[in-house]
Structures are given as structure tokens and as C-alpha cells.
Structure 1
Amino acid sequence: MEKIEKCSLSSNNSHHNEMQEAMISIPSLLCGSTLVIVAFILSKTCKVMMKKTSSVQAPSANILTEKPLPTKDLSITEWEIPTECSVQDLEYLQSGRYGPTCMAQVVQADLSVPVIVKALRDQTSETEVGEFLEWIKFHIQICRHENLMKMLYCQTEHAPMFLVLEASVPGNLLHFLWEFRKKDIDYQDYPMNFTEKTVYSVARQVASGLEYLTNVQKLIHGDVAARNVVIGDNWRARICGLSTAFDIKRNGSLPSPGTSIIPWKWLAPERMMRLSVTEKSDVWSFGILLYEMMTLGSPPYPDLQPTEVLSNLLGGYRMKRPEHCGGALYDIMKHCWMWDPLDRPSYSGLIKQMDSYVYCAGTNRLSSKKPLDLHEYSLIADVICCTPRQNITDNGVRL
């Protein structure tokens, strides 16, 4: 019995000891695992907090990069007007797409040069300022041909911002043509005769400039007309009015018809119908330019309203041969007005044709029996005619 009791006591004691060990080890395990879990959670939390901290710091660096301090554009800096030059005697011409366009003089020491100034209007947005800078860069890149109006200077590093283009005397071709329609014209002011042979000379230069735009710059002008040609000494002709070409370069396409301000009567039929446009669309307009020169600035399709032009062209209508226009030059016009753009000549082809036909061009001074009425011209051509020059001080613009 004692042995049995001892055995039972010893077994009870061992069982009791095991229970005590278990009671001690289980909390220890629980405590250890809890510490591991807490450590794991803390490590994760630290990592998350570190990420959050880094993500909070990053935008402050981004803010600095999004709004950098103004820096000079090296492609423009070399064109900045020299400090020793001043722009004087400004005369307002018209309102341009970014602000006033003016005649002026760039004066340096005792030398004064006539120029055209295109200024950026006051109170413009950052977007407009950026576009104006692109407009300046466009002139720097594109106007590298003798028959395109060249840029001389610009001012971009402080207000007012503007670009300076070379000017010509007598200047705008359309206004020059109108002067020759006056009965009381003083030919001492215009010693050069404007003849059919002169038309060939001017037209050849315009075709050369357009060929450069097409073949070298891969652009179309988009607004070929007498109003966008300037004349200088010895009938030197240069193309201006590059706003549409600028839009094409920036956007990759022509402006939508709703935003275009190009008069209807100068457009090729495919542009009227909003079809594909190529350089051959400018060739059609080049034919209209020839008509303008031979008629001393008459509006195209003088017997038609702008809304009637397309329907008549669809029926095969073409303008009649102008008075004093030779058959060869009229053939060139009709060639430009072929309905299918592929049937129209290239600029190089036009140059060859004019070189071949110029020998038979008339040399008598061109004239027009019909006086010019600017109001009537505006209605027929659907063009707002330029008003006489006004002094720049009347328009509140200062440079």
C-alpha cells in the first residue's frame, strides 16, 4: 500500500511539476510571439511612415521644377535688339493676332532704317506670351529666303515684347496697285513703270518664295494674295502674312473654317469644300494673285458674291482674261485654276513657264478706267480694307 501510495504520490508530484512548467512556458511563448508581432507591426509602420515622409517631401521639389526662374532662350537671345538701337516714329497700321502692327524707324547713331513692328498687346496670359515667343522663333527659322520678309530684331527679355521685320518702299503690293488707279497720280513718286513684264518679275519672285516654303520648310503659305506681298526697290518682292503657315506648323493642320479669316474668293475649291489641302491649293491662289496684279488690285470674281463662287466654279466658270493681259499669262492663270489639284503646275513649273513667256510680255504702263471704291471693294471681295495710317499715339501703344 505504501508503495502504491508512493507511486501515486510520485506520479501526482510529477504531473503537478509538468503542469507548473506548462503554465510557465505557455505565457512565455505567448509573450515572445506577441513581441515578434509587435516588432513586425512597428517595422511596417516605420516603413510606411518613411514612404509617406518621402512622398510629402517630393512635391516641394516638383514645385520648384514646375515654376523655374525665368531663363533666357538662347535661340532668341542673339536676335534681341541692341541697346544702342531705338524704335522711333511709330505709326499704327492694323491690329494683328497678338497686338498692334506698326510702321517705325530703328535708329542707331545717325542711321535710320524703316521697319515693321509687331507688338504683343498688354495684359496677356502666359499662354499668349508663350505663343508669341513661338511666333518669333517661327520667323527666325522660316524667313531665310530672299523672297520672304526677314526678321531683324526682337525684344523678349522685358516688356513690351515685340519683333521687328524689315520694311520696304513703296510697301504693300495691293496698296501700291491701288495707287496706280488714281487719275491724279504723281509719277515722280512712283518712277517705276508697272507693266505686264513687271507682273512676270514679281510673280516669279513670289513663286520662288513659295517653292522654298514648300520644298525646304515643308509648309504651305495658306493665304497667297497681293495684300501679303511687299514691294521694294527694283521690284524686289517678298512674301509676308505667314500666320496661317505658323498655325500649320504648330498644329499640323489648317485652322478650322470657323476660325479662318482668309477671304473666300482667294481659296481653292478643295478648301471651300473642306477637302485635302496641299501646296497646289496655294497654286490656285497664285493664279488669283496674277489676276490682282493685271487688274491693278481689282477684287476677284467681280460679278459674283462670295457665296456664289463655289457653285459657279463647279459649273466650269473661270474669270475672263483681264484687259491688257497677254494670252500667255492668261494661260498660266487658267493652268493654276485647274479643278484637279494634280493638274495644276508646281512652283518650279510656274517659274519655267514665266521665264519662257516673259519675252512676249507687254511693256506699257498698266492702267484701269474704273476708279477704286474701298467700300465697294470690301463688299465684293469680303475683305476689311485697311484704313489710312494713324499716329501710334492715337492707339495707346508704346514701345
Structure 2
Amino acid sequence: MQLTMNSSEDFHRNEEGWQNSVIIIPALLSGSTLIVVAVILWKSIRRKRDKRKESKDNMRDIDGEWAVNAAGVYENSLDTPDPILEKKQLSGDWTVEHKVFICNGHFGPISHAVLCRSGVTEDRQYVVLKELSEHCSPGEVQDFIDSMKFYVQVCNHDNLVTMLWCQTERRPPSLIMKAMSYGNLLTFLRSSHEGVEAAEGRTPTITEKDVYSMASQVASGLEYLSGTHDLIHGYVAACNVLVHEDLTVQLCGLDLAAIQYRTGSIPRRRAAQVPIKWQSPERLKGADITEKSDVWSFGILLYEMVTVGSPPYPDLEPSQLISKLQKNYRMERPALCVQQLYEVMTNCWQWEAPLRPCFTDVVKQLQNATDRANGHTPLIAIDTLSWEEYLRVAGIPS
């Protein structure tokens, strides 16, 4: 009997030991596994950190941001001749002189300049120079090259800004465009608000007939862009129209179209950078941009022109716009806008995109009305806003 009891106790002790082993051994194995994984992760993170440090050591600190050394970037990306750009290379007997800085563009500084031919003093050409910043990334270098190709392959229309020449064999790389006498249309229009004299010592003015003529030129450029190349402009506005002294115009600001040409789509982040008051309702709601989105924006451009550069929706904050449009709110007909032109605007502002006209129809409507338009009475600015006040009301970051 005693033997039986001892055997039972031994069995229970052995069972308890076995159970403890079952618990402890896996725990030890799991713990050691976690330690090994942690060590591997730590080494991986350290390697990545060391690589980032090594990469940064090869960069220069520009205004608190790390920028790739441009010399190396240029060498890697621009030294191989591109057959598309070769025929547009500025020949060696031309030099760029008298650069006057205008602003910083997406890729780098933009300047007015003069092209001069060696030994020929009278052979001079006024141009706009777009240069690639020396603090660019490798991706930006490639984007700049692709932008040049876009101008060569797509911008072959009288009402689209064209690239005259490019420089990829000299530093810094640049593209050279024809200078338009009056600059962009917004500046041209706003100059009459502040009494600023334009070129040749006169204050620029436009008539109703000029509005029809310039608008039909812009619409023609947009018709070509969408019809021939299936591309969207994405930011149709007075600031993206260039004006020559004879009031011929060319559409510029083609960055989004160039991205779409290269990649097949427009990133929503880039599309959202366009000021809200120029965006169509579907864009404000996050939908894709289409030709009809550009048509809506073209209606806003017509408003800018006939009001001689007044900001759209002057009584609304940008944050109020989408809710007001959903309630069928549209801008009223400006005082100096004839009913026929206002109808073109409101057709562009149809809530349902398919109901808006295409640019082919818009061109026909504007051209048919041009001959009957008033070509004698100058249009008068309807606001007295300063430039800073204009930017605030328009919702454009200063």
C-alpha cells in the first residue's frame, strides 16, 4: 500500500516537472528567437541609418534642406545626347545676355534675357529663360528634360507657348522661350487697376471685341491640347496666358499637361495646388480632371477678362465655394458684360460636366460673336483692390 502511494506521488512530481518543462522550454526558445529578431532589426536599421548619413555627407545643406550636389546629377543625366532635343540646341555662336530675374519656377529661376549672336550686333532676340536649379534632385533633372521634350513634341500651335531653343550641353541646363511684350494676362489686366503704365508708355486697355478675340485664341489652344493630344491643361487662368503687343495670346503654365503626357495621369496632390476658385466642382470633390474641368475654368477666365482682372467670387471665401455651388450659385453678370458672353460663361459653369460645351463649340461661339462686339469702348476695372488684397480675395498664396 505504501509502495503504491509513493509511486503515485512520484508520478505526480514527474508530471509536474514535465508540465513545467513544456512551459519553460518554449518560453526560453521564444525569448531567444525574439532576441535574435531584435538584433537583426537593429543591425538593419543601423545599416540604413549609416547609408542615409553617407548619402547626406555627399550633399550640401541648403536653407535647412538637403540638396543633391548638382554637378554629379548633371553628369549622370545630361551628358548623353538626346535625339529629340539635339535639333533644338542653341548653337554656339549665340549667347544669353542681360538676364533679369522674374521669379522662381518649379525647376529653378525664370528670367528675361536677350539672345545675342556673336559678331552681329543687330541680331538680338528677347526671350524668357527657364533654368534648372543647381540644387535639384536626379528626378527633377529628368523631369526638366522631359519638359523640354514635351515642348518639342506637343507645343506646335500658335496659341501654345513654344520653346525656341534649349541648352543641355551647357551649364546650367535651360530652355529658351519667346518673350511676350505684355507678360501674362493677369498682370496686363491688373495694371489698369493701379494705374501702372505698360510698355511704350501707355496704360493697356481692352475692349469687348478684344475679349472675344483673346478668349477664342485661348480656347483654340485648349482645343488643340485636348483634341490632338488628349491632354488636360489643369490651370486655365489669366495668369497662365501670355499677351503680345498686338494682343495675340499664348497659353502657358503647361506643367500639369506635361506630367500627364509623360505619365498618363495628373497626380491629385499637384492638381490640388491650383487655387480653389478656378477649380470645377468635380475637382473640388476629388474626382479626376477632364477636358470639361478645363471648360469650367475657362468660364472663370472669361470673368477675369471682362472684369479687367477682378478676382472670381469676390464675395466668397474659398472654403464657402463648394457648398454655394451645390446650391446652384453662380456669379452674376458683370456690369460691362453683354448677355451673349455671359451665356458662354454660364454654359461653361454647368454643374454636370457632360452638359458643358467642348472647346470646339466654344471657339465657334466666340468667333461668331467677335465681328459684332464693341471694339471701341475700353472696359473699366470694377474693383480698386491692391495686389495684396487681390491675392487674398482670390485665395492665391502670396
The reply to whether TM is greater than 0.5 is yes
Distance 1:187 1:319, change over 3 A: same
Helix, strand or coil at the partner of 1:235 = coil
Q: Does 1:319 align with 2:328?
A: no
Cα offsets for 1:162-221 (capped at 9, x unmatched): 000111111211100011223475796348641011000000000100000001111010
How far is 1:91 from its partner? 1.3
Matched, 1:75 2:84: yes
DSSP 3-state at the match of 1:171? coil
> Cα deviation per residue 1:32-53 (whole Å; 9 max; x = unaligned)?
xxxxxxxxxxxxxxxxxxxxxx
**Distance in 2 separating the partners of 1:125 and 1:318:** 43
On the 8 A contact 1:326/1:362 being kept in 2, the answer is no
CA distance in 1, matches of 2:266, 2:329: 27
Partner of 2:27: none
Change (3 A) 1:121 1:314: same
CA shift in 2, pair 1:367/1:72, >3 Å: same
- Counterpart residue type for residue 90 of structure 1: K
Corresponding residue of 2:369? 357
TM-score by length of 1: 0.76
Shift in Å, 1:112: 1.6
The reply on whether 1:372 has 2:385 as its aligned counterpart is yes
**Deviations 1:346-368, CA, capped at 9 Å, x for gaps:** 11111111122224423310112
Give, in angstroms, the shift of residue 276 of structure 1: 3.3
Amino acid at match of 2:390: Y
Aligned letter for 1:138? F
State how 1:186-265 maps to structure 2 within 5 Å: 189-190=201-202, 193-257=205-269, 260-265=272-277
Whether 2:181 is the aligned partner of 1:169: answer yes
d(CA) in 2 for partners of 1:183, 1:239: 26
Q: What does residue 115 of structure 2 align with?
A: 106
Q: Aligned-pair distance for 1:74?
A: 1.5
Q: Deviations over 1:219-276 (max 9, x none)?
A: 0101100000001132111000001111222232222247732111000000110123
Q: Does 1:291 align with 2:303?
A: yes
Question: May I ask how many residue pairs the two structures share in their alignment?
Answer: 319
Cα distance in 2 for residues equivalent to 1:151 and 1:187 = 23
- 1:178 touches 1:372 (CA, 8 Å); kept in 2? no
| Segment drifting more, 317-326 vs 191-200 | 191-200
Q: What's the C-alpha RMSD, in Å, of the aligned pairs? A: 2.0
Q: Between 257-266 and 208-217, report the one with greater CA deviation.
A: 257-266
Q: Which residue of 2 aligns with 1:146?
A: 158
- Find the residue that maps to 2:393 and give its secondary structure: helix
Deviations 1:44-82 (A, max 9, x none): xxxxxxxxxxxxxxxxxxxxxxx8994311111111111
Please name the residue that 1:32 is paired with.
none
Tell me which residue corresponds to 2:344: 332
Q: Aligned partners of 1:124, 1:183: CA distance in 2, in Å?
A: 39
**Structure 1: runs of 5+ lacking an equivalent:** 1-66, 386-399
Alpha-carbon spacing, 1:320–1:187, altered in 2? closer, same or farther (3 Å): farther
Aligned to 1:37: none
Task: String of CA shifts for 1:267-318, please: whole Å, max 9, x gaps.
Answer: 0000110123210100000000000001111111000001111100000000
% same residue: 39
Residues 263 and 369 of structure 1, relative CA distance in 2, 3 Å threshold: closer
Cα distance in structure 2, aligned partners of 1:342 and 1:104: 44
**Contact 2:234–2:289 (8 Å) recurs in 1:** no
**Gap regions ≥5 residues in structure 2:** 1-75
Q: Give TM-score scaled by structure 2 length.
A: 0.76
Mean CA deviation greater in 200-209 or 104-113: 104-113
Aligned mates of 2:355, 2:139 — CA distance in 1: 42
Aligned equivalent of 1:120: 132
Larger RCO: Structure 1 or Structure 2 (Cα < 8 Å, ≥ 6 residues apart)?
Answer: 1
